[in-house]
Structure 1
Amino acid sequence: MAAQRARGQRAGLTRQAVLEAALRLVDQEGLKALSMRRLGAELGVEAMTLYHHVPNKTALLDGMIEQVVAEAVPPKFGAGTWREDLSAYAHALVAALGAHPHAVPLLLSRPAMTPRNLRTLEEAVEMLHGAGFPLPRTLDVLYSLTSFVVGHAAAQVGRVDGGGSLASLDPTAYPLLVAAAGEAGEDAAEARFDFALDALLSGFERELAGSSATE
């Protein structure tokens, strides 16, 4: 005999479905549109029903971050070299943030320590430690990489990437800035991301070599 559902629960509604609906709503209308009442209406249930799946709005927001991060996480860390894994993760994360620009402020403001995110972090730490990074340095690597990617995504969302605006400045007043922006071209943001990511990973590689040399 099936267990009796609590009042307000709906057959088939899951935490995953709630999080996916919340992310869709924010994608379409922005964070200001998100409320438990509005989300319930999108799912065809009363707002109180959602609390069977997410205890409060804080948990909802953390779960939305979990959803975005999940789009970027590889099936398994360690399938390639540590550098290949981190590069793939960085590119996937910036793509996921590009697909969900209204979620970028959440990643800037919340740690989102959900069990799923913590398992991902644990696997990444295991991969880096297995590659030779000291345990504390594994967190330095991961936090540095994530901060770089989220910062880049925030710049894109906020249109603070300077390429286009610099190119439109007065060339007599700012000849070098205008020339640099013009030579960078329309794909400057993507090229700049790859350049900075490569520099960051090369720095981690030098750190790893130095750690191995002192052992």
Structure 2
Amino acid sequence: MTSTAERSSGRRTPLTRERVLRTAIELADASGIDAFTMRRLAERLDVEVMSLYYHLPNKEAIFDGVVESVFAEIDQRVGGFEVPETDAGWKTSLRERILGAREVMLEHPWVPGILEGRTQLGLLRARYVDSVIGTLRSGGLSYDLIHHAMHALGSRMFGFSQELVSDDDDGDGDIPEQLAETLPHLVGMLAVVRHDDPSSTLGWCDDQFEFEFGLDLILDGLERLARSDGESFPRTAS
């Protein structure tokens, strides 16, 4: 809403695209993306809804802009998207880059949900992907191996793991008792699964330990393949 100083001076903070996007992020951080509406955003900015359309034509454009803003945060967090031509410690460099991206995702836990619906990369997101490819390339990996690596990393390169299934309303992953005999191994696993660090979690099975466990498996495998010069790596079309 308009501040006391602004009311007393008769001046308002100018409405800009950057201010709209920054406020959209603040609103989603506070209430979650499911509660986000153009009307609530306009109320937070103390403007009419139609004023938003001058800067961003619709809700999808706001989401596209928000994604770019978040990747600008990642850019700052990881020290930029530039990568060296050669890097003997590429695995550590890539691990730190991806975990830096995850830090930003944990600050905005609703972002993975809208990322999955973005069909276009956007410049900053594309530059981040380019930096991941460049880091792998700096370690001497072939573009063929890198292409397969990108498929293996999937959403993990952005700092989150795409869930195989959604959690239930209770968030405990329980399987109905009548299915226990049909699904003995799944039930057995869920009986011992525990995720006790909610501050590090972006999904039911995406806490920090699970994320780093999966990331390290992929990076260790890529390192092994890179050291073998691809001799045992099948080059097949994907």
Task: Name the CA distance, whole Å, in 2 between partners of 1:83 and 1:47.
Answer: 47
Opposite residue 98 of structure 2, the aligned amino acid is A
Change (3 A) 1:25 1:140: farther
Which position in structure 2 is the counterpart of 1:98? 106
How far apart are 1:151 and its partner, in Å? 9.1
- Contact conserved, 1:83 with 1:201, CA < 8 A, in 2? yes
Task: Name the CA distance, whole Å, in 2 between partners of 1:88 and 1:39.
Answer: 34
Task: Name the CA distance, whole Å, in 2 between partners of 1:108 and 1:176.
Answer: 27
How far apart are 1:139 and its partner, in Å? 4.4
% same residue: 29
Task: Name the CA distance, whole Å, in 1 between partners of 2:25 and 2:92.
Answer: 29
Out of 88, 95, 98, which is 2:96 matched to? 88
2:97 corresponds to 1:76: no
In the alignment of these two chains, the number of paired residues is: 202
Task: Name the CA distance, whole Å, in 2 between partners of 1:151 and 1:87.
Answer: 10
**1:82-135: CA deviation from partner (whole Å, max 9, x where unpaired):** 212221233233333333222321122224421222222233333332322233
Change (3 A) 1:54 1:207: farther
**1:170-196: CA deviation from partner (whole Å, max 9, x where unpaired):** xxx879966896597746943322221
Which position in structure 1 is the counterpart of 2:152? 144
Instruction: Report the secondary structure of 1:109's partner residue.
Output: coil
- Contact conserved, 1:98 with 1:153, CA < 8 A, in 2? no
**1:1-32: CA deviation from partner (whole Å, max 9, x where unpaired):** xxxxxxxxx86433332222112212222333
How far apart are 1:199 and its partner, in Å? 0.5
Gaps of 5+ in 1: 1-9
- Contact conserved, 1:23 with 1:64, CA < 8 A, in 2? yes
- Range with greater deviation from structure 2 (138-147 or 174-183): 174-183
Change (3 A) 1:51 1:191: same
Gaps of 5+ in 2: 1-11, 198-204, 233-238
- Range with greater deviation from structure 2 (78-87 or 108-117): 78-87
For the aligned residue pairs, the C-alpha RMSD in angstroms reads: 4.0
Opposite residue 90 of structure 2, the aligned amino acid is W
Out of 40, 43, 54, which is 1:41 matched to? 43
Which position in structure 1 is the counterpart of 2:217? 199
Change (3 A) 1:48 1:85: farther
Change (3 A) 1:212 1:14: farther
Out of 125, 132, 142, which is 1:124 matched to? 132
Structure 1 or 2: more helix by fraction: 1
Change (3 A) 1:164 1:40: closer
1:11-30 matches, within 5 Å, as: 12-30=14-32
How far apart are 1:203 and its partner, in Å? 1.6
Give the TM-score, by structure 2 length: 0.63
Task: Name the CA distance, whole Å, in 2 between partners of 1:107 and 1:183.
Answer: 27
